[in-house]
């Protein structure tokens, strides 16, 4: 078996704002496995400044994987606990290599175009007019669940935007989720959650920055609005640590980004623990290309979670990898009339 890797820069169609800054490009790495004339591909979707494996030795670790691929998948993964995005890339590459179709990692009714996965429409931060136009666009596109990033512009403006949606669409018409990306301070968070709760929202993701366990636990105990942990899960490696975190904070939901939490194996661990504790969960992409998004979507379908998932990021880039993944009427599905075009990466 031979393994190689390649760096690839994804370019956003338009700058995309979060409370951590504005994104114009996204770095990613593709891992290729070759054996007996077959090729497998996986994506190591690092998010600089957020991923726990944003380290100077990231590429060095990819080289290590390629040089030691003879060890096999299990042993390789055991040596990648501190590199969750590479873990996920390795899992994908081995699944891809073993499959008759390198992009059909989890054969199911989803990959056979018999069904789809409901997803949320994502509203990026920006000027009020830009956010309004995005909201209008998502509603017209048939989304029944909208996720709005908040916490970077004026809070009153964000409330005004949410009120405008609620004035026209009730909670039964459109489910509204908000994502603060840790943008609130602990001292102001509860008051802001009270204001947001008056708008019949589904939930808020990561209201305060991670690693403030006591403050987050207090928020989850007293919140009038369900809280979903997102960044809080990053860098929590062992099952013991995961269980301790969930017991300490007692969130209403957790959000799973396989590239940030150890791929398929890491996601399954979080899901099993959450279900034992009656904590809800859903999956979302972490701005991967269509290669990684394909793997997450297929994996997500196998879990049979009926909530809208966060898988609508495939149209963000000018130079994404063309794929059968298609978004229509608020759902993602596999269009078998479309084919993969990997000429940009092979």
Catalytic residue set: 149, 257
Q: Is 273 helix (H, G, I), strand (E, B) or coil?
A: helix
How far apart are the C-alpha atoms of 48 and 68, rounded to whole Å? 25
Q: Specify whether the CB–CB gap between 119 and 330 falls below 8 A.
A: yes
State the CB neighbour count (10 A cutoff) for residue 117.
Answer: 20
How far apart are the C-alpha atoms of 243 and 278, rounded to whole Å? 13
The helix (H) or strand (E) run that includes residue 204 is strand 203-205
How far apart are the C-alpha atoms of 201 and 223, rounded to whole Å? 13
User: Three-state SS across 8-23?
Assistant: EEEEEEEEEEECCEEE
How far apart are the C-alpha atoms of 316 and 313, rounded to whole Å? 6
Q: Is 86 helix (H, G, I), strand (E, B) or coil?
A: helix
Q: Specify whether the CB–CB gap between 269 and 80 falls below 8 A.
A: no
Q: With left for phi above 0 and alpha for psi between -120 and 50, is residue 115 left, alpha or beta?
A: beta
């Amino acid at each position: 078996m031979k393994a190689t890797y390649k760096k690839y820069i994804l370019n956003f169609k338009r700058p995309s704002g979060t409370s951590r800054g504005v994104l114009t490009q996204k770095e990613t790495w593709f891992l290729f496995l070759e054996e007996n004339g077959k090729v497998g591909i996986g994506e190591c979707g690092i998010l600089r400044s957020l991923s726990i494996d944003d380290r100077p030795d990231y590429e060095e670790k990819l080289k290590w994987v390629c040089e030691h691929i003879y060890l096999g998948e299990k042993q390789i993964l055991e040596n990648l606990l501190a590199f969750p995005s590479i873990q996920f890339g390795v899992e994908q590459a081995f699944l891809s290599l073993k499959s008759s179709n390198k992009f059909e990692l989890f054969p199911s009714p989803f990959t056979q175009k018999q069904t789809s996965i409901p997803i949320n429409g994502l509203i990026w931060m920006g000027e009020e007019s830009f956010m309004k136009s995005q909201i209008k666009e998502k509603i017209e596109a048939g989304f029944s669940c909208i996720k709005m990033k908040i916490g970077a512009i004026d809070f009153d403006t964000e409330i005004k935007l949410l009120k405008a949606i609620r004035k026209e669409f009730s909670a039964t018409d459109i489910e509204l989720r908000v994502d603060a990306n840790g943008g609130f301070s602990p001292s102001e968070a509860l008051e802001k959650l009270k204001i947001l709760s008056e708008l019949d929202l589904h939930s808020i993701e990561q209201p305060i920055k991670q690693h403030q366990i006591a403050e987050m636990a207090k928020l989850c105990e007293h919140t009038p609005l369900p809280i979903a942990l997102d960044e809080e899960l990053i860098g929590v490696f062992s099952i013991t640590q995961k269980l301790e975190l969930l017991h300490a904070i007692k969130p209403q939901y957790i959000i799973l980004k396989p590239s940030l939490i150890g791929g398929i194996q890491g996601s399954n661990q979080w899901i099993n623990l959450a279900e034992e504790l009656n904590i809800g969960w859903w999956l979302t992409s972490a701005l991967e290309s269509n290669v990684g998004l394909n793997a997450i979507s297929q994996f997500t379908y196998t879990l049979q979670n009926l909530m809208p998932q966060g898988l609508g990021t495939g149209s963000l880039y000018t130079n994404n990898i063309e794929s059968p993944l298609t978004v229509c009427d608020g759902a993602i599905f596999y269009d078998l009339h479309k084919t993969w075009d990997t000429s940009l990466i092979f």
